[in-house]
Structures are given as structure tokens and as C-alpha cells.
Structure 1
Amino acid sequence: MTTTAHRHRAARFAPAAVTMLLLSACGAEVADSATADDGPTSVNRCGEVVEYTVPQRVVAYEGGSADKLFALGLTDHVHGYVMPPANPPVSESPWAAEYDQVEFLSDDLLNRELVVDANADLVVAGWNSGFSDNRGITPEILDTLGIQSFMHAESCFNYPGFPERHTPFEGLYTDLARLGQIFGVEERAEDLIAEYQQRVAAVQEQAPDGEPVRVFLYDSGTDQPFTAASQVPPNDIIRYAGGVNIFGDVEARWTEASWEAVVAAEPEVIIILDYGDKPAEEKISFLREHPTTASIPAVVNDEFFVLDYNEGISSPRNVDGLEKFGDYLRDFNSRAR
């Protein structure tokens, strides 16, 4: 993901009872039909109720979309994926074998011609991370072409016309529940959500006591830092692990900030979002050498945590990122406090 592409695309843990309400709201059923013979299914798409038939030629944009489908065991329904070159190699994914079974369609940004040429019957992507007014590929346009679309619930925060809002991890659970309903694998989705919730709860239970650790996520930018605000998965990763995002009070997804604000917040830990076109070590070197950031406590104490790109966007791998960061904060707490 280039920085430019990222910019243009790019509460407490809900207990089991809340999740069951979430699944009910998404229309998930207890029974797992898994047959595709029951006719259209009505599911919310960023607040708009849409009828879906079971897709057989899905095009997924970026790792988060493909991983949700693979985690649900839907590889046979996936025709192919689009993966911009800055994304980490799919060979590093837990679902590398599943990627090998489907077609690599393009390393470009998502576009209408690619989807049409692939004869797709469903496109899975986020708003501004795949779907885009500027590039002429939106759910409304695909509707007119008879191509179904599915948007990540987390990205609906920015979607015009049909507002829908979730905390980022709730958005992940919502997506799994809705995809489970669309493909007739509701029980599989419920089991997966329950597993992820248990893992999240385990990290929360082990979070360090006392004042939360101040954390800054550095995505990119030299004149101004590009960072995570309240509406993207790293914010939940930070707070569930026992930290506080220094820009977590900003009502946005990915956002520009100022170096002055970073310095004033005195972050104790810096998360580096790692993706292909600018490796994490280059970003860390910049922060060490830049006169404005060299005196930040996290830089002085060499407290850097590298978060994989696919652990930072809406994806089942958010839970992996949380577990790793939870381990890091516990170690930090034992070292520093």
C-alpha cells in the first residue's frame, strides 16, 4: 500500500450476550443452512438492506476481505483477489494455502473494468479502501451492473447516505455474521466470532493494571504524521491490550495529526504499521533522527512495536495483532513500571 493509496482508501469488549444481539440484528440464524437453495437473503450493507443470492465468483480487495472469506471456509466461492504491491506478501498469511487456490487478478487499485472482466458476482471491499467515487466503482454502480457488493462495516463510518457505525472489532464480528448469512454458513460464523471474542477477552483479562500506557501509531508521513484515530482496528487493539491511543479521541478513521501534538502527548510506546513500500525500520530510523521526535519517551527508550498491515486493517488478523501487542504491553509494564 503506498501512502497515497492508503490515505484515499484507507467501548469495552462486547460480551457474548451483546454479540448474540448483534447476530440477531444482522439476521443470522442458529441453523447453518450451507445449501444456497433458500433464495435471496436480506442483509445490511452500511445501513441499507440489500438482497443477496449466494455468490460463486467473489472478487476480494486486499487481505482483510480475502481473509474473512477464507476464515469462514468460503474458498470455493472466491474467484480471485486484488492486492496492491505495498501489501505484505500473501505467502505470509495464515491462509497462504487458500490464496494459492484462487486467482491473483491484479496489483492495481480496485476498478470497475477488472471486476467486470472477472465476471464477478460479489465484490468485497471497504469504503475508500476499494470502493471509491473518484475511481467510479461504488456499490450503487455495481448494482446497476448486476454485481453484488459487500462493504466492511468498520468502513461505513465514512460512507455517505446510509450511515452505520461500529467500534472496529464489533465491525469485524458484524462482517463475519453477515457473510455467514449471505453464504448460508451462519453456525460457522457464530463459532468463529465466539472464538475471537474469547481470545479478545483473554487479552483484556491480562491487561496491565494502573494508568494505561500512552501509545502512538505511526503509519507514514514526514511533514505531518498519518495515524490511527478512533474508528480503525488499531484503536481497539491498543485499548483492549491496556493502552490508550493518543489520538483515540479523534472521531475519524485514519487521520493526519501534527508532530507537536505527538510530542505533547509523550507516548511511551510507538506502533509502527508495516507495509511494503516503506519498511518499519525506515520509519523507526526517521523517528530516531528527526529532531522533533527524537526526545519522545518511546523513542528515547526504544519502545517500538511493529504491527503488520493486515493486522491493522479490518481482518480476522486483528485478533492476532491484539494478542501480540498484549504480550508486548505486559513485557513493557514489567520493564518500565
Structure 2
Amino acid sequence: MKKKLLSLLVVTILGVSFAGCAQNDSSSTTESNIAESDITETESESTVSESQSGTVYPLTINNYSIEDDGAIWAEKEQVFESAPERIVCNMQGSAEVLIRLGLGDRIVGVAGVFGDVDSDIKEEFDKIPMLSEDYAGQEVILGANPDFVIGRGDLFVDADYGSGTVDFLNDSGIRTYIMNTGKEGAVFDDFFTDIDELGQIFDVQEAADALIEQYQKQIDDLTNNPAWNGKEKTIAEIASVEDGNFVVSSGKGEYFQNDALQLVGLNNIFKDAPAYEVSNEELIENNPDVLLLFKYNGGPDTDVMVEELYQNETLQDVTAIKEKQIYVADFNAFYGTGGGIFNAVSNLAQNVWLSDTQD
């Protein structure tokens, strides 16, 4: 299971699990930021089943089903006769969003717990039954007797690591919600759509509006921070390092992650590459300023990975190696469907730009 977990995580970082997903416009970071008027417009368009007093059930939400082992996203409606009472989250980040919406007491199980939990919600998160630190299979998910399963799209598949297909879960009387942040081309608007629609589903619109406002302020603060505002460094992602060999992820199609990096002046040098994996020779030729690795519970020792990169003879002329600019981020924060990515890029920026100032 650990080997399969490692393989799935590397595939996710490489972006293969997003291949074939519904396409979004590759808007810039500035275009991704939602002004207050945009939020109002989005809400007015997506709350047809609401009144001023709250959600009116039955509520229909346009979401997705997943086909071809997570590669193809197809639109599918979810109809809610009432607010779900028993939630299972197939990824940690989904549980974090729900807790911030005041719904932690409805979560009866969480899986895919790969990273640290923010201190302000850790106590409540720790009360949630952990179905598995790794990905949880269909039997485990059903064993929690949920009426609602939420999380990352490529896990809604019929596989030993999968939550079960959307069609199967729906036929079993279980509503589903696939987070928009996991689809290819996702931008900040899609994350706000997730929060807004969850607010409708659970009739907690005020909490959803407040959470959107909180994240928008975080985005604005990152955008306008004078430490990196108007500056730029190039960055590349390393998916894995083992026995001196390394795999480079292009980040192709990961607009949500790439836009978040650009908030803090970090430009993914390979984001427009034609493939999900980049050759070692291309990494050396493009000479990024910064290299980024990801850590997760049960994964390889990232200190060892970093040292292997620093010692790799073929990389000695790469700026990131020469200037000791290799950093490690939390996998869940970047790929766990939640809002932890904004704290993650903030921490990364502090390291990148603070070390640059000190030098």
C-alpha cells in the first residue's frame, strides 16, 4: 500500500491525474483574484434555490462524475433533499474547509491525511475519526455510513484506493461533491465556487461568505507584500528523488497551484511545457532559481532528497543548487483541495525572499 501511495502521490504532482479534465481559461494571477463585486455576481448566479432566509430544498448543484480512472470529468447534477448529516472526506483538505464552515461535527470520517493541520482547527480536526492516513477504499468509506462523500476527484474511482465511483455512491443513496480545485485549469474562482456551493448545500451561506472574504484578503495581502511585489524568481517542482535519480514535474495544467506561486513572485518555469514530466536535461538548460519538493506523512525523508539534489554532479551549475534554494512544502497544502495553499506559498516566500535579502 505504501508503494502504491507513493506512486499515486508522484502521479498527482506530475499532473497525470488531471489529464483530460474539463478545461478552464489559464487566467493570470491578477485575473484569478475575485473582487468583491465578482463574488456577489457569482452568488447571484449560483443560488437559484435560495431565499433570503436560507437554502430552499430540494437543491440542485452542478458537479461532476469521474471516468477512466480519474482522467475524464463529466458534469453531473447532485440533488439534495436536505443538508447532509454524515460526511466522509476522502482528502484532508476537504475536511479543513468544512471545519472552517462550522461543519466539523458532521464529519464521520476522513482519509488521505498527509500533512500538518493548522493550529486554529487542529483540536477539532483531531476529533474526526480517521478512516485511513492513506487513501481509503470503497468498503472503508461505506463502513462510516455516510450520506455525503466529498474530496478530490481522481479518488472517485473503482479501485482499491478509490472512494467508489460517483454513480455507485449516488445509486447507494449517497450524495457526492468533487472539489473544483482538483480539475485541470482550476483557478481561485473555482475554490470560491466550492465554498459558495458548500454554503448552499449545508445552509451556512453567511459562514461561506465570511470564509471567501477571509481567503480573498489573504490573496490580496500576498499579492501586495512589498517583500516580493514586482519581483520574480523561476521555480521548478521535483516530484521524486531516489538513489541519485530525480523526476521533474512540469506543473502543466495546474493553474491553481501556479497562480498561487505567482502571488509571491515565483514563476513555474515549466508551466507551459507540453508534457507532465520534464527531462533532467531541460531542468539544467532552463536553470531555475528555486526547486520545490513535497513532504507527506509516510513519505520519503525530504532531508535526504534535498541532500541528494545538492550532491548531484549534473546539477552543480543550476542556480537553485549553487545558491542553496531548495525548499520543501506540504503536499496536502498544495494538492489536498483546501485553502492551505495560501499559507504554504506564504511560508515558501518568506524563506525564498528572506534568505535572498540576508544573502
After TM superposition, give the deviation of residue 333 of structure 1 in Å: 5.0
- CA–CA separation in structure 1 for the residues paired with 2:252 and 2:302: 20
SS at match of 1:166: coil
Q: Which residue of 1 aligns with 2:169?
A: 142
Correspondence 1:268 to 2:295: no
The one-letter code of the counterpart of 1:73 is: G
Q: Secondary structure at the match of 2:263?
A: helix
Structure 2 residue 139 is matched with structure 1 residue 113: yes
Q: Is the 8 A contact 2:91 2:152 kept in 1?
A: no
Letter in 1 for 2:63: R
* 1:27 corresponds to which of 47, 50, 74: 47
Matched residue type, 2:44 = S
> TM-score scaled to structure 2, two decimals?
0.80
Q: Is the 8 A contact 2:230 2:265 kept in 1?
A: no
Q: Deviations over 1:21-40 (max 9, x none)?
A: 3333432868573xx8x422
CA-to-aligned-CA distance 1:107-128 (integer Å, 9 cap, x gap): 3423221222211111111121
- CA change 1:115–1:83 in 2 (3 A) is same
TM-superposed CA distance for 1:332, in Å, is: 4.8
The corresponding residue for 1:325 is 348
Query: Runs of 5+ in structure 1 lacking a partner?
Result: 158-164
Q: How many Å apart are 1:89 and its aligned residue?
A: 5.2
Alignment partners' CA distance in 1, 2:355 and 2:126: 38
> What is the DSSP-based 3-state SS (H/G/I as helix, E as strand, rest coil) of the residue aligned with 2:38?
helix
The correspondence of residues 74-89 of structure 1 with structure 2, limited to 5 A, is: 74-83=103-112, 87-88=114-115
Moved more, 43-52 or 227-236: 227-236
- Aligned partner letter, 2:41: L
How many angstroms does 1:147 deviate by? 0.9
Shift of 1:260: 1.4
Deviation at 1:304, TM superposition (A): 2.3
Question: What count of residue pairs does the alignment treat as equivalent?
Answer: 319
For the Cα contact (< 8 Å) 1:271–1:304, is it kept in 2? yes
| CA RMSD across the alignment | 2.6
Alpha carbons of 1:32 and 1:234: their partners in 2 closer, same or farther (altered >3 Å)?
farther
**Correspondence 1:297 to 2:319:** yes
| Paired residues of 1:216 and 1:246 also in contact (CA < 8 A) | yes
Report which stretch shifted further, 213-222 or 5-14: 5-14
Letter in 2 for 1:48: K
Say whether the 8 Å CA contact 1:218–1:226 is kept in structure 2: yes
Displacement after TM superposition at 1:4 (Å): 0.5
Q: Residue 88 of structure 1: SS of its match in structure 2?
A: coil
* CA positional deviation for 1:51: 1.1
Change (3 A) 1:232 1:334: same
Quote how far apart the aligned CAs of 1:217 are. 2.1
Does the CA contact (< 8 Å) of 2:249 and 2:277 recur in 1? Answer: yes
TM-score when normalising by structure 1: 0.85
Counterparts of 1:298-317 in structure 2 under 5 Å?
298-313=320-335, 314-317=337-340
Report the secondary structure of 2:357's partner residue.
Answer: helix
More off after superposition, 136-145 vs 20-29: 20-29
Q: Identify the residue that residue 157 of structure 2 maps to in structure 1.
A: 132
Residues 1:298 and 1:108: Cα distance change in structure 2 (over 3 Å): closer
Partner of residue 302 from structure 2, selected from 245, 256, 280: 280
- Relative distance call for 1:201 and 1:30 in structure 2 (3 A) is farther
> Quick one: which amino acid aligns to residue 4 of structure 1?
S
For residues 16 and 209 of structure 1, what CA distance do their matches in structure 2 show?
Answer: 22
Measure how far apart 1:229 and its partner are: 3.1
Counterpart for residue 42 of structure 1? 60
- Asked if the contact 2:10–2:240 (Cα under 8 Å) also holds between the matched residues in 1, the reply is no
Partner residue in 2 for 1:162: none
Measure the CA separation in 2 of the matches of 1:112 and 1:260.
41
Structure 2: gaps spanning 5 or more residues: 18-27, 65-74
1:295 to partner: Cα distance:
2.4
Q: CA deviation at 1:281?
A: 1.0
Q: Could you give the per-residue CA deviations for residues 166-222 of structure 1, whole angstroms, max 9, x where no partner exists?
A: 31x322212111111110011111111111111111111125355521111223243
Aligned to 1:3: 6
